[in-house]
Each structure stands twice: as structure tokens, then as C-alpha cells.
Amino acid sequence: MTASVSVQNASKTFGAFTALNDVSLDINAGEFIVLLGPSGCGKTTLLSILGGFLSPTKGRISIGSRDMTNVQPAKRPTTTMFQDYALFPHMKLKDNVGFGLRMRGMAKTARDEKALGFLDLVGLKGVADKKPHELSGGQRQRVALARALAVDPDVLLLDEPLGALDLKLRRQMQDELKAIQKRVGTTFVHVTHDQEEAMAIADRIVVMNQGRIEDIGAPADIYMRPRSLFSAGFMGEVNFIPGTVVETDAASARVETALGPMTLSPSAFTTGFPIRNQAVTLCIRPEHFRRAGTDEVGLVTLGQASVTGQAFFGTHYRCHLSPLAAPQMSIVAHMPQSATVSEGEAVGLAVSALDVVVLPSQRKDA
């Protein structure tokens, strides 16, 4: 089963602390949503409100168009997969998975059969009679998933479920989680602070900071065309270059930057049309820099810069550069594996105008 989720103007305060500040969010049925942000950004608070473990100070929650704002967790069509798995230590795996069915009054043989089916789904049918302490972390995590899915929830809430696993296992579980979500079709709302994990599994990412939603969109959108400086910085390394809009017309905008003037398309301005004399920040990812003189179309040259440091990262060279026009500034750029760069060398920098995102310097508080 699956259902859409709607959060309308939800706020949550704990004393003087605002954990969630007027958040609105619509999630489609069957979507895999990732709430992403640093610790304390409100993502877990939002998840707890969806699960019914907290009630919002203000605002409304509805699931599948039914109002759920003040409904107990047990009465909601949601189940939660907890960070520490929260398996029942005294029960066999099949009883863990069948617990929700038992609470719904299903007879022992029927629920055992269904529990075995879900254990099969996560690849643990063979150990159904073991207890949780006999399993590895990754296996426990799968049992927790099976237990949460066994009651056919409309919405599955996942509270940093991969946080306790080592990196290799985490990447493997991401793929499994995504595959299982596709199979069961349930709406998944997943909380994490790992942006790689978010990009790997999400249909849409919700970037949160300080109790607010900074950005919502498909992983590629959030990464390539962020709509806030926070979102640009949180999703990956980025160079922020200050500038001012000096001229605008329907098809282009001229921006004066520390690295020289640039002519950009209005589509580079992800939060709205450029305004003359507006102070802006250009966001350029390290991998978007090119060396001037490359025969790529649409390149904008950014003047010369000298290499102040470089390191080989396997897929690329990561270089620190100091532009000759603004020596106090430090730029991080990725150069191809084949590049021959040495410290002190001057290189001509360029960037494709399509790769540049321009955001207002001051965060617009909506």
C-alpha cells in the first residue's frame, strides 16, 4: 500500500528552541523522499511528527488526504525503522517481523507465513528462528525493514537507518533499500546527513537547515542547480565567488565578479530573474572548471590563476588555485587525471556558462 503525505505549515518548538519552522511539504504516493541536513536541522523532528511520536506545535499533517495531526502512532498508516533498529531482543526474527500482524489479531500460522515472506524479501528466510543478537548489524537492519514493512504501511519512515553501518555495507544497503522500495511501492521518507546516500537513493531530496526547508528537488537538480547557498554547499564542494549584476536584458545578464566580467543566461539565476545592482554569489563546482583554450563551446574565461597546491585523487587532480586578479581568494578546481599541473604554474581558468549558478548573496528570508 502507498499514500501521499502532506505537511502544511508545521512548526515545532521545544521551549525557546524552534526545531521546525513553518515547514510545508507534499510527498507523492510511492515516492522515495530523503530529508537531508546537518544534525539539529529538524529532519528527525519532522520524521517524528510524521510518525506521530511528536505532535506539531502548529500546522497540519495529512496522509492519503486523511488528517493525522493528532493521531497516535499505532493508529497511523506509517511505521518507523529506527536508527538503532529497536528489535525485540527476546523474540525470534519471525516473531519480530510478525509482531505488528499479531497486534492486528492475525492468527499464528498466517502471520508466521507472512513474516517468512518478508524475511525472504530481505534475504533472511533461512535464519527466521534466530534471535536478533545472533545477527550482524546489516542483518538486524534488514529485519527492522522487514518488520516495518510486514504491516503494509502506506508510508515507511526511516530514521538514519544506515548510520551505524560501515561505509561498504552502507553503499550496498542503499541499493537494496532502493530496490525493495521499488518492489513494494510504499512511500519512503528517509532521514540522513550523508549527501551521497541521499543522492544514491532519493527520488527527491529535501535539504533542511535550522528548521526550514532550503531546497527540494531531484538529486541532479539539487546538485547542479541549487536554490540556496546552504544547499549548494551541503551537497558537495563548491566555490563561492562574490559579484554584482551590472546589466540585465531578456536573454542575458552581465555580472561583474572578482574574476572578471561574465555574461550569463537568466536561467543561471535559480531563485528568480536577475535584478540590476543586486549583490550575488556565483557557485561553481570544482569539476566544472576547464583550462582556457579548450575547444568547448560556451566557455567563459576567468583569467589566470596560479596553482598553490595539488593532490591526486584517482579520478582527478584536486588543485588549490589563487587567481591573479584576486590573490586573496582561494579556488578549488578539479583537473583531469591526464593534466600535468605543478605548484606555482599559472593556468588559464574557464567555465561553461551553463554550469554556473547565481544566487542572491543575502539569504532571502521568505
Q: Does 84 bind other proteins (CB under 8 A)?
A: yes
Nearest CB to other proteins, comparing residues 26 and 84? 84
Binder of other proteins out of 29, 86, 258, 292 (CB under 8 A): 86
Minimum distance from CB of 246 to other proteins (Å)?
A: 56
Minimum distance from CB of 325 to other proteins (Å)?
A: 55
H/E/C letters for each residue in 69-113? CCCCHHHCCEEEECCCCCCCCCCCHHHHHHHHHHHCCCCHHHHHH
DSSP single-letter state for residue 292: T
- Give the binding-site size for other proteins (rule: CB under 8 A): 24
Interface mask toward other proteins for 109-138; x: CB under 8 A: ----------------------x-x-----
Nearest CB to other proteins, comparing residues 70 and 172? 70
Of 23-31, 98-106, 214-222, 254-262, which part binds other proteins (CB under 8 A)? 98-106
Cα 32 to Cα 191: distance, rounded to the nearest angstrom: 11
Cα 323 off chain centre by: 32
Nearest CB to other proteins, comparing residues 165 and 222? 165
Q: Does 108 bind other proteins (CB under 8 A)?
A: no
Cα 10 to Cα 52: distance, rounded to the nearest angstrom: 13
Contact between 91 and 126 under an 8 Å Cβ cutoff? The reply is no
Binder of other proteins out of 73, 185, 261, 336 (CB under 8 A): 73
Minimum distance from CB of 133 to other proteins (Å)?
A: 5
Cα 254 to Cα 258: distance, rounded to the nearest angstrom: 13
Nearest CB to other proteins, comparing residues 12 and 147? 147
Calculated CA dihedral for residues 146, 147, 148, 154, nearest 10 degrees: 80
Nearest CB to other proteins, comparing residues 86 and 218? 86
Binder of other proteins out of 42, 56, 59, 100 (CB under 8 A): 100
H helices of 122-193, where? Answer: 137-149, 167-184
Burial grade of 341 (CB within 10 A; 0-12, 13-18, 19 or more): middle
Residue 216: CB partners within 8 Å, gap ≥ 6?
Answer: 25, 204, 205, 206, 207, 222
Residues that bind other proteins (CB under 8 A): 51, 53, 72-74, 78-80, 82, 84, 86-91, 99-100, 103-104, 131, 133, 147, 151
